[in-house]
C-alpha cells in the first residue's frame, strides 16, 4: 500500500509521467495548481493502476485526466465544476447583502486626483488602522487598478488594487461609515471584479482580518474562497491578528 506524504493535496491521475504530459494536460495541471495555490511538490502524478494501492486519504483532491477509473477511497474527486465552485460558491449568492437599497444613480470610475481628499477622509473613518496618507496620495503606477464608487456624484467608497500578468490583488477597500449597511460594499466589490475582468485578470486575491466576519462573509457571497491564513499579519488593539487569504477565479 502507498502512504501519501502529508504535503500532498492533489492527485493528478494520467497515463503519462510529469515530463511527458501532452500540451493540454500540462496546461491543465499548471492551471489547477495555480487555482488551488499549490506548488508542484504538493501534487502527485500517478498512473491509473496505482490508485488501488493508495491508502484512504480524506484531505486530498483527485483529478482524473481522461482516466475512466474510480478515485481512491476518501479522496474528493476534483472536476471542472467543483474547481469553479471553489471560487464562485453559487449557494452563498442567496444573501443579497442589502443590494435592494442601492439606488440606480451610481457609477464606478477610475480614482483621480480630485477624489483623494474624500478617499483620505473615508480611509481614516472606516479603518481602525488606516493607510498612511502618503500611500493614499501616491501617484499610481502602470499596474494600479484603483476605483471610486460615486452615488449622486458623492464619493461613498473606493478600492485600491493592482493587476500583474493576469493576477490581480485587492489591496484596500472601504465604504464611508455613513453609507455602510446599504449594499454599497457589494456593489463596489462586484464593480472591481468587472473592471479587472475587462483588464484580462484571471484571478483576484485579497487578505482580510480574521475578526472581520462581515467582510469575509461578503467576499464568500461574491465568490471568494479562503485558501490560507497568515498568522499575526495585522496589528490589532490586543497585539496582532491573523489574515485570511482569499481568492476569486475570474470566469
Catalytic residues: 207, 219
**CA distances in angstroms from 200 to 142, 163, 167, 203, 242, listed in the order given:** 15, 9, 9, 9, 31
Q: Give the number of other CB atoms < 10 A from CB of residue 142.
A: 7
Structural contact between residues 163 and 198, judged by C-beta atoms closer than 8 angstroms? no
Q: How many residues are present in the chain?
A: 251
Secondary structure class of 207 (helix, strand, coil): strand
Structural contact between residues 245 and 216, judged by C-beta atoms closer than 8 angstroms? no
Amino acid at each position: 500500500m502507498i502512504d501519501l506524504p502529508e504535503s500532498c493535496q492533489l492527485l493528478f491521475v494520467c497515463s503519462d509521467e510529469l515530463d511527458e504530459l501532452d500540451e493540454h494536460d500540462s496546461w491543465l495541471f499548471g492551471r489547477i495548481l495555480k487555482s488551488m495555490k499549490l506548488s508542484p511538490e504538493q501534487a502527485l502524478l500517478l498512473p491509473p493502476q496505482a490508485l488501488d494501492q493508495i491508502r484512504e486519504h480524506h484531505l486530498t483532491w483527485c483529478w482524473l485526466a481522461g482516466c475512466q477509473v474510480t478515485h481512491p477511497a476518501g479522496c474528493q474527486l476534483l472536476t471542472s465544476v467543483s474547481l469553479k465552485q471553489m471560487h464562485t460558491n453559487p449557494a452563498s449568492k442567496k444573501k443579497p447583502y442589502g443590494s435592494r437599497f442601492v439606488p440606480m444613480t451610481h457609477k464606478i470610475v477610475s480614482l483621480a486626483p480630485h477624489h483623494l481628499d474624500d478617499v483620505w477622509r473615508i480611509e481614516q473613518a472606516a479603518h481602525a488602522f488606516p493607510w498612511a496618507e502618503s500611500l493614499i496620495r501616491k501617484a499610481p503606477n502602470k499596474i494600479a487598478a484603483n476605483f471610486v464608487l460615486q452615488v449622486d456624484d458623492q464619493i461613498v467608497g473606493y478600492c485600491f488594487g493592482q493587476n500583474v500578468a493576469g493576477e490581480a490583488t485587492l489591496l484596500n477597500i472601504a465604504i464611508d461609515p455613513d453609507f455602510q449597511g446599504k449594499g454599497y460594499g457589494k456593489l463596489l466589490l462586484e464593480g472591481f471584479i468587472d473592471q479587472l475582468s475587462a483588464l484580462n485578470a484571471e484571478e483576484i486575491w485579497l487578505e482580510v482580518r480574521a475578526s472581520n466576519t462581515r467582510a469575509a462573509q461578503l467576499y464568500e457571497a461574491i465568490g471568494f474562497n479562503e485558501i490560507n491564513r497568515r498568522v499575526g499579519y495585522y496589528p490589532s488593539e490586543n497585539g496582532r491578528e491573523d489574515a485570511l487569504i482569499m481568492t476569486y477565479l475570474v470566469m
